[in-house]
Structure 1
Amino acid sequence: MHGNMLRLVLIISAIVLQFSTCSVLIEKIDEERVENQCNLSEDLVNEIRGYKNVVSKITDHILNGKFKGEVHKSLQIFTDKFGSRMAGSDALEKAIDYMEDLLKNEGLENVHTESAKVPHWIRGYESATLVQPRKAKIELLGLGTTVGTPRGGIIGEVVAVRTFDELQKLPDSEVKGKIVVFAPTWQGYGATVRYRSSGASEASKKGAIAALIRSATPFSIASPHTGSQNYAQGVKKIPTACITVEDAEMIWRLYNEGENVQIRLEMEDYNLEPVISRNTVSELQGTTSPNKSVVILSGHLDSWDVGVGAMDDGGGAFISWKAVKFLKDMGLRPKRTIRSVLWTAEEYGYYGAKEYAKQHKENELEEFNFFIESDTGTFDPVGLDFTGNKDAECIFKEVLSLMAPLNATQFATPADGGPDISVWLDRGFPGASLLNKNERYFWFHHTDGDTMLVEDPDSLDRCVALFASTAYIIADLSVDIPKDVKN
Structure 2
Amino acid sequence: MFLSARKLAVSAFALGFLATPVLAQDAGTIQRAATIRDQAMASNIALDYVTQLTTRFGARPAGSKAEQDASAWAADYMRAQGFQNVRIEEFPLVGWERGEESASIVGARPQRLVVAALGHSPGTNGPIEAEVVRFDSLEALNAAPAGSLAGKIAFIDAGQMVRMQDGAGYGPLTRIRGAGPGAAAAKGGVAFIMRSVGSDEHRMPHTGTTRYIDGVVPLPGFALAAPDADTLSRLIAMGETVRLRLSSTAHTYETVSQNVIGDIVGRSRPNEIIVLGSHMDSWDLGTGAIDDGAGGAITLAAAKAIAESGRRPARTIRVVLYGSEEVAQPTDTGNGGGAYLRGIGDAVENHIIAGESDFGADRVYALALPPGAQGSDFARAAGQVLYPIGVLASQQPELHGGADVGPLAEAGVPVFGLSQDGTRYFDLHHTADDTLNKIDPEQISQNVAAWAGLVWLIADSDVDFRAMRSAAAAAADGAH
Q: Of residues 380, 385, 390 in structure 2, which corresponds to 1:398?
A: 380
Counterpart CA distance in 2 for 1:29 and 1:434 is: 22
TM-score scaled by structure 1? 0.85
Deviations 1:86-111 (A, max 9, x none): 11110011101101111111221111
Aligned to 2:155: 181
Deviation at 1:182, TM superposition (A): 0.9
Aligned to 1:229: 210
Aligned to 1:287: 267
Q: Of residues 319, 326, 329 in structure 2, which corresponds to 1:340?
A: 319
Counterpart CA distance in 1 for 2:18 and 2:356 is: 24
Aligned to 2:5: none
Structure 2 counterpart of 1:314, which letter?
A: G
For the structure 1 residues 279 and 395, does the alpha-carbon distance in structure 2 shift closer, same or farther, using more than 3 Å as the test? farther
SS at match of 2:466: coil
Aligned to 2:141: 167
Counterpart CA distance in 1 for 2:187 and 2:119 is: 22
Q: Of residues 369, 379, 386 in structure 1, which corresponds to 2:362?
A: 379
Counterpart CA distance in 1 for 2:27 and 2:38 is: 18
Query: Map of 1:243-258 to 2, 5 A cutoff?
Result: 243-258=224-239
Aligned to 2:102: 127
Deviations 1:377-435 (A, max 9, x none): 1201212234x332477355224312122111242443576221122224442112221
Counterpart CA distance in 1 for 2:251 and 2:375 is: 45
For the structure 1 residues 370 and 213, does the alpha-carbon distance in structure 2 shift closer, same or farther, using more than 3 Å as the test? same
SS at match of 1:116: strand
For the structure 1 residues 35 and 228, does the alpha-carbon distance in structure 2 shift closer, same or farther, using more than 3 Å as the test? farther
The question of whether the paired residues in 1 share the 8 Å contact of 2:132 and 2:244 is answered with yes
Query: Map of 1:346-361 to 2, 5 A cutoff?
Result: 346-349=325-328, 350-361=334-345
Aligned to 2:3: none
User: Are 2:78 and 1:98 aligned?
Assistant: no
Aligned to 1:477: 461
Counterpart CA distance in 2 for 1:429 and 1:417 is: 10
For the structure 1 residues 230 and 47, does the alpha-carbon distance in structure 2 shift closer, same or farther, using more than 3 Å as the test? farther
Counterpart CA distance in 1 for 2:408 and 2:447 is: 23
CA RMSD of superposed structures (Å): 2.5
The question of whether the paired residues in 2 share the 8 Å contact of 1:145 and 1:228 is answered with yes
User: Are 2:290 and 1:315 aligned?
Assistant: no
The question of whether the paired residues in 2 share the 8 Å contact of 1:201 and 1:235 is answered with no
User: Are 2:165 and 1:191 aligned?
Assistant: no
SS at match of 2:312: coil
Deviation at 1:59, TM superposition (A): 2.5
Deviation at 1:375, TM superposition (A): 0.5
Deviations 1:416-460 (A, max 9, x none): 762211222244421122212220000000000000111011111
Aligned to 2:406: 422
Structure 1 stretch displaced more, 450-459 or 426-435:
426-435
Deviation at 1:82, TM superposition (A): 0.5
SS at match of 1:87: coil
Q: Of residues 278, 284, 299 in structure 1, which corresponds to 2:258?
A: 278
Query: Map of 1:37-116 to 2, 5 A cutoff?
Result: 45-48=23-26, 50-64=28-42, 67=43, 69-116=44-91
Counterpart CA distance in 1 for 2:373 and 2:14 is: 17
For the structure 1 residues 205 and 173, does the alpha-carbon distance in structure 2 shift closer, same or farther, using more than 3 Å as the test? closer
Aligned to 1:461: 445
Structure 1 counterpart of 2:104, which letter?
A: T
SS at match of 1:361: helix
For the structure 1 residues 58 and 384, does the alpha-carbon distance in structure 2 shift closer, same or farther, using more than 3 Å as the test? same
For the structure 1 residues 405 and 35, does the alpha-carbon distance in structure 2 shift closer, same or farther, using more than 3 Å as the test? closer
Structure 1 stretch displaced more, 247-256 or 394-403:
394-403
Deviation at 1:289, TM superposition (A): 3.1
For the structure 1 residues 286 and 235, does the alpha-carbon distance in structure 2 shift closer, same or farther, using more than 3 Å as the test? closer
* Unaligned ranges ≥5, structure 1: 1-27, 37-41
Counterpart CA distance in 2 for 1:426 and 1:130 is: 46
For the structure 1 residues 421 and 399, does the alpha-carbon distance in structure 2 shift closer, same or farther, using more than 3 Å as the test? farther
SS at match of 1:253: helix
The question of whether the paired residues in 2 share the 8 Å contact of 1:176 and 1:209 is answered with yes
The question of whether the paired residues in 2 share the 8 Å contact of 1:197 and 1:228 is answered with yes
Where in structure 1 do 4 or more consecutive aligned residues deviate above 4 Å?
Answer: 28-36, 45-50, 483-486
Counterpart CA distance in 2 for 1:363 and 1:70 is: 30
Deviation at 1:220, TM superposition (A): 2.0
The question of whether the paired residues in 1 share the 8 Å contact of 2:192 and 2:219 is answered with yes
Counterpart CA distance in 2 for 1:236 and 1:100 is: 34
Q: Of residues 242, 265, 276 in structure 1, which corresponds to 2:223?
A: 242
Deviation at 1:469, TM superposition (A): 1.1
* Unaligned ranges ≥5, structure 2: 1-11, 163-168, 329-333, 474-480
The question of whether the paired residues in 2 share the 8 Å contact of 1:48 and 1:398 is answered with no
Counterpart CA distance in 2 for 1:52 and 1:346 is: 34
For the structure 1 residues 179 and 189, does the alpha-carbon distance in structure 2 shift closer, same or farther, using more than 3 Å as the test? same
Q: Of residues 102, 123, 129 in structure 2, which corresponds to 1:155?
A: 129
TM-score scaled by structure 2? 0.87
For the structure 1 residues 429 and 377, does the alpha-carbon distance in structure 2 shift closer, same or farther, using more than 3 Å as the test? same
Counterpart CA distance in 2 for 1:404 and 1:306 is: 37
User: Are 2:406 and 1:432 aligned?
Assistant: no
Deviation at 1:332, TM superposition (A): 3.0
Q: Percent same amino acid at aligned positions?
A: 30
The question of whether the paired residues in 2 share the 8 Å contact of 1:115 and 1:276 is answered with yes
SS at match of 1:390: coil
Deviation at 1:81, TM superposition (A): 0.6
Counterpart CA distance in 1 for 2:15 and 2:87 is: 40
Counterpart CA distance in 1 for 2:285 and 2:412 is: 35
The question of whether the paired residues in 1 share the 8 Å contact of 2:40 and 2:302 is answered with no
Structure 2 counterpart of 1:433, which letter?
A: G
